[in-house]
Amino acid sequence: MRNKKLLSTMLAATLTATTMAMPVMAADLTGNVPVDLGVKSGVLRVQLPTRMAIEIDQYELDNSGAGTNQIASVPFAMTNKGNVNVKVDVTSAVTLGPKVKLASTKEGAVESSGDAYAWLAVASATDIDNTISYDDPTTSGDALVEDCSQLNETNMNVSTFASSGDVKQTYYLKAASGDAEDITYRTYKSGDAVVDPFARFDRLDGEMSTGDEVFKKLETSDVYVVSGDTVRKLVRGTKSGDAGASFTTGEKAYVVSGDAKTSNDSNLFTAANELYVYGEGTEVKDGKAAFRYVGKLSEPKTWSKNDIKDITINYTIEGVGASTYETEAAKCTQGLYPSVTGPKVSVSATGLVTISGLTADKNYQSAAISLGGEEYDIEMAPVTWGTNDPWSEEEGGTLTAQLGTDWVNDLKADGAGKIIVTLTDDTTIEANIVLS
């Protein structure tokens, strides 16, 4: 029995080995699967003013507050009506008359050596629900700053014009509410009333007039169905019989040509037979922002349009992916964003550095001065730090530092500079330096 068992074991091993050694036959089948590549194009539609009024208000006729504001300005309001989150970069540039200079601080707007000084700044709205408010909760406490007169360069929502004559802000506007199906689409052609910028217009092409054409095209593309003044979008992959997928005689259908333009393109509607489509949705609170100009003028000069000649506004708008939007928007230091209450740095005309709004998570780590395109550690030259500042390593608070004579002389010689403060979470805040 032992030999029989051994033989059976050996036979089983041989059979197993033979089975394992047998080559695996390749299947005599080949094939390919076509892959359709499409592009999901979002609706960009940001409503912006086409004009903005700004006035010199030397006698504060438009000011009801306890502070000073000698620049009267209507709000520059922005509303995202598209289904794409966007970032809006705004640059304001001022043209000054002779013997007029810009002050880096509100209190620095004092006539000096025959030159008049103006403190000019942009104040971003911090609430835009029912009425526009420019309140900075870090300084006002429970009292709303409703008229901008109490704002100055240290406020979280204020950006001061640099000595170069410009100032920049970045705003993040959340997409309109609802899904793509909640977007209202409209056509636009030569001769129609102008749409407030910024809107993305897609040129419609490839006219179709039968259901067979439409549903064949829907296999590879989105289709826009035009019926009189109304437009509805059929999403790629929609089939006949699906909800909302009807197409009736007399309607026309189109696909987007890929030739996207914006309403501020000068050559947008040159051809009378071109038809465009644009969309808009219902805005949400975080999809709106606004700013206005504030300022103080030195005395005893009588100011006129020859002193502050004009202010120009340039903006760029770009879409932001849904997965990164919240992270990017949280870093923003203007307007409606949480970090408006975070740390901020400012430098007075005499070189006093103030770092406010520091917290346990965002505390002071280091600082550098930028001169002539190079950055230098602030401790490379004498600096006197405040000894009684309401600040601690554990809780944060407010820090002050007076730049020494070496820093002041170098900054004056260079004309301007910048301070960059690194916080304990490795983010940075910065401010321009213009000394008088």
Are 320 and 42 in contact, with CB atoms under 8 Å apart? no
| Residue 338 main-chain phi, psi, to 5 deg | -55, -35
d(CA 41, CA 202): 10
d(CA 400, CA 349): 14
Q: What local confidence, expressed as pLDDT, does residue 43 receive?
A: 65
Per-residue pLDDT tens over the stretch 137-147: 666 555 555 56
Q: Where are the beta strands (DSSP E) in 178-328?
A: 184-189, 200-208, 223-227, 230-234, 252-262, 275-280, 288-297, 308-320
Q: What local confidence, expressed as pLDDT, does residue 14 receive?
A: 37
Q: Is the pLDDT of residue 167 over 80?
A: yes
Of all residues in the chain, the percent with pLDDT exceeding 70 is: 79
Which residues on neighbouring strands pair with residue 272, listed in sequence order? none
**Dihedral, CA of residue 236, residue 242, residue 247 and residue 248, to nearest 10:** 180
Q: Is the pLDDT of residue 268 over 70?
A: no
Instruction: Identify the CA nearest to 70 among candidates 80, 84, 59.
Output: 59
pLDDT confidence band for 103 (50 / 70 / 90):
very high
Per-residue pLDDT tens over the stretch 269-324: 555 677 888 887 888 888 899 999 999 999 999 999 999 999 999 988 888 888 88
Q: Of 51-60, 303-312, 320-329, which has the strongest mean pLDDT?
A: 303-312
Choice between 368 and 341, residue whose per-residue pLDDT is larger = 368
Q: Is the pLDDT of residue 371 over 60?
A: yes
Choice between 262 and 89, residue whose per-residue pLDDT is larger = 89
* Half-sphere exposure of residue 382: CA atoms within 13 angstroms, side-chain side: 6
**Structure-block tokens of residue 58:** 């030397």
Q: What local confidence, expressed as pLDDT, does residue 18 receive?
A: 41
Can you give the pTM of this predicted structure? Answer: 0.66
CA 157-159-164 angle, to 5 degrees, is: 175
Distances from the Cα of 230 to the Cαs of 45, 94, 253, 256, 288, in angstroms? 18, 43, 12, 16, 27
d(CA 69, CA 196): 30
CA 27-28-32 angle, to 5 degrees, is: 95
Q: What local confidence, expressed as pLDDT, does residue 21 receive?
A: 45
Q: 153-162, 175-184, 396-405: which has the minimum mean pLDDT? A: 175-184
Are 353 and 398 in contact, with CB atoms under 8 Å apart? no
Q: Give me the mean pLDDT over the 76-103 stretch.
A: 91
d(CA 52, CA 99): 26
pLDDT confidence band for 10 (50 / 70 / 90):
very low
Per-residue pLDDT tens over the stretch 202-244: 888 899 999 999 999 998 888 999 988 788 888 888 998 888 7
Q: Is the pLDDT of residue 12 over 50?
A: no
Q: What local confidence, expressed as pLDDT, does residue 15 receive?
A: 34
DSSP letter at 137 equals H
* One-letter amino acid of 333: T
d(CA 20, CA 231): 65
Residues with Cβ within 8 Å of 281's Cβ and at least 6 positions away in sequence, in order, are: 43, 45, 81, 82, 83, 175, 176, 177, 178, 182, 183, 184
Positive or negative, the CA dihedral 4, 5, 10, 11 is positive
Q: Of 87-96, 158-167, 232-241, which has the strongest mean pLDDT?
A: 87-96
Q: Give me the mean pLDDT over the 97-106 stretch.
A: 93
Distances from the Cα of 364 to the Cαs of 226, 253, 391, 424, in angstroms? 59, 60, 10, 6
Burial 215-250 (b: 16+ CB within 10 A, else e): bebbeebbbbbbeeeebbbbebebeeeeeebebeee
Q: What local confidence, expressed as pLDDT, does residue 8 receive?
A: 38
Q: What local confidence, expressed as pLDDT, does residue 368 receive?
A: 96
Helix and strand counts by DSSP (H, E) for the chain: 5, 26
pLDDT confidence band for 13 (50 / 70 / 90):
very low
| Average per-residue pLDDT for the chain | 81
